[in-house]
Structures are given as C-alpha cells and as structure tokens.
Amino acid sequence: MENAIIKIGIVGGTGYTGVELLRLLAQHPQVEVVAITSRSEAGMSVAELFPNLRGHYDLVFSEPSPDVLTACDVVFFATPHGVAMSMAKELVAAGVKIIDLAADFRIENLQAWSKWYGVEHTCPDMMPQVAYGLPEWFRDDIQKAQIIANPGCYPTSILLAAVPFLKAGLVKTDAIIADGKSGVSGAGRGAKVAMLGAEMSESFKAYGLNGHRHLPEMQEKLQVLNGEPVGLTFVPHLVPMVRGMESTVYMTLENDVSQAELQSVLASAYADEPFVDVMPFGSQPETRMVKGTNMCRLAVYRPEGGQTLVVSSVIDNLVKGAAGQAVQNMNLLCGLPETQGLNQVALMP
C-alpha cells in the first residue's frame, strides 16, 4: 500500500479518541476516511459535532454497516470494550486490518481478560492474528498482524519507562512500583458527575487502588518482554487537567550502577525510536512538553546515589496513549513511513 490511498473506517468516532484520530488523519497524506460510525449521532455531520474539523471532512456519522466497513483497508475501533471483537471475524475475513483502541485484544490470557472485564471473550480463535501495538518493543509482530491491540495509555507510559532496565538485568523483578497521573480526558467523553468541573477541579485523587484493568495488561507484557513474571504495584491518579499523563516508575537496582550507565541504557534502547525522547540527565519531563504529539519523553534518576532507580515518563494520553499510537501502528501495517502524519510539535503554553 506504499503509494496507494488507504481507505479508513472509524467505528465509534464521537469520543475523544475518535476526534483525535480524525484530527491526525486529516493531515495524513496517504489516507482517506471514508466512513465514521455512531449509532447515537447517525446523520450528524462530523463538523457539526467537532467544529475544529470544519473544512477538513465532508462526512456524516452513519450506522456501522458491514458493507461499508468491509470495503475499507483499515478500520479503527474507538468504541467501548466488546465492540471490536463482535465484528472482527467478518472484517478480517474480508481482508480488512483492525486497530482496536479498546481492550478486546490486549491481554492474551483470556481467563484474566474475562475476570477484569466481566464478560466472556467472543473470538478467542482470532488471538493468533493479534499483535500488541507498542511499536518500540513489538514492531515485527505489528507488521505481520491482522489485528492490532492498541495499548492502554498507562501501559504505554509505564512499559516504555521500565522495559529497558528489566531487559538489561539491572533491576529486581519482584517489586516495581508505577505511580500514574492522568488528565480527565482519559475517563472518556461521556457525562459523569465525577468528571464535572466543580467535582474534579482543584482536587487530586488516587483511584483503582484495589486493582485497575491496565494492571494485568502490564503484568503480561512485562513477563513477555522480560521472560519471567514481574511484580508490579500500579496506582493511577486523576489530576485536574484535560490531557496529559505522567508516570513515575520506581525500581530497585540489583547492583551498584552509575547514573551515566543508567542514562546510557535508556538512551541506547531508544536511540532509533522516532517517538521516544530520552532527555539529558537532570531533566524534568512535563506533560506540556508532549501535548498534542505522539512523543514519549523519559528521564532517569538515581536519587542520592541510592538503590532506587526512578524513571519519569510523560505522554499525551490521547495521542501516544491512544490515537497517535494507533496511526503509528497503521503506518507499520501498511508499509508507510512510521512517522507519516505524526510530526506535530507540542503545544505551549
């Protein structure tokens, strides 16, 4: 598909990840969005619901018709959990590649998936055709897959921070702590009392303390990449900002390792990665450094020369944590330059 126009369908395009997909794909030179579906907004124009896209799309939301979607090259699912797996077999049989931004295919252990998501998985036979869509560590699998399980936002930020040190054998595997903070857009676009401005503004809280759905996803992928189980404690937090995510990951060093060596390990792991920026020693990543971009910025510390290794990771939860990474995966699936359509500069202030 290197020189062809790629026909894109988006299922469930009325949420924050849907509009972010549309924003990014509007600037992509080799795609055409031919269908965007929404049962609730069928018949409404895209520009009416999302005025920022006025002049970029002459599309209306439609019912999710199999006839339309099977004519696409790639279909993105920006839907609640359970929708993509209900349509996957028919689309893949028609030669369509699927990128699911929900969690239907993220966890290979389907018993664990059912436990955390509360329903039975409806297409276990499709799992051999799935790749986990974190390009920095699963690029070869992505290029050969029919279905991409786009990672969660927290797993993206935390895996990118932790994996280089695990693979280098520098840290203990039994007690990693990940402290994640997300902007309110991570909760979706639906009306919820807890997300009202008067409820979450000027406040800060942890949630999911007894377990979060992203935990088994991270545990599984850490084990795959490390070759053995990894003990992980994960606590997410809601912060009063619209978009952005910072994850602070704490690991215990196995031996005495210099700050320079730690910096070198991280820099070497991502030396050729277009969307991971290992910042100089002493840097302090901020979410505004990546706002609106597909970039993850990382910084590594060894406070007071002790045995605790600290990595700070910032992403835009809607871009590298969702829609941007999905477009990156699409580029890989379709044999396009990986950075195509994703060279935005961060918004400041």
Residue identified by tokens 């809280």 is 205
Token digits of residue 71:
């004519």
Long-range contacts of 52-58 (CB under 8 A, 24+ apart): 52/19, 52/23, 53/19, 53/22, 53/23, 53/26, 56/22, 56/26, 57/22, 57/26, 57/33
Catalytic residue among 72, 153, 296, 334: 153
> In sequence order, what are the residues at sequence separation of 6 or more whose Cβ sits closer than 8 angstroms to the Cβ of residue 342?
24, 275, 293, 294, 324, 327, 328, 331
CA–CA separation, 221 and 108 (whole Å): 9
Q: What does the alpha-carbon distance between residue 2 and residue 6 come to, in Å, rounded to a whole number?
A: 9
**209: exposed, middle or buried (C-beta count within 10 Å: 0-12, 13-18, 19+)?**
exposed
- Using alpha carbons, select from 237, 231, 304, 314 the residue that is nearest to residue 275: 314
DSSP H helical ranges for the chain: 16-25, 46-49, 66-69, 83-93, 110-117, 135-144, 153-167, 197-200, 214-226, 259-269, 324-333
DSSP 153-187: HHHHHHHHHHHHHHHTT-B-SS-EEEEEEE-GGGG
Q: Decide: 56 and 26 in contact? Cβ < 8 Å.
A: yes
Strand-pair partners of 247 = 180, 313
Q: Reply yes or no on whether 153 is catalytic.
A: yes
Which residues belong to the active site?
153
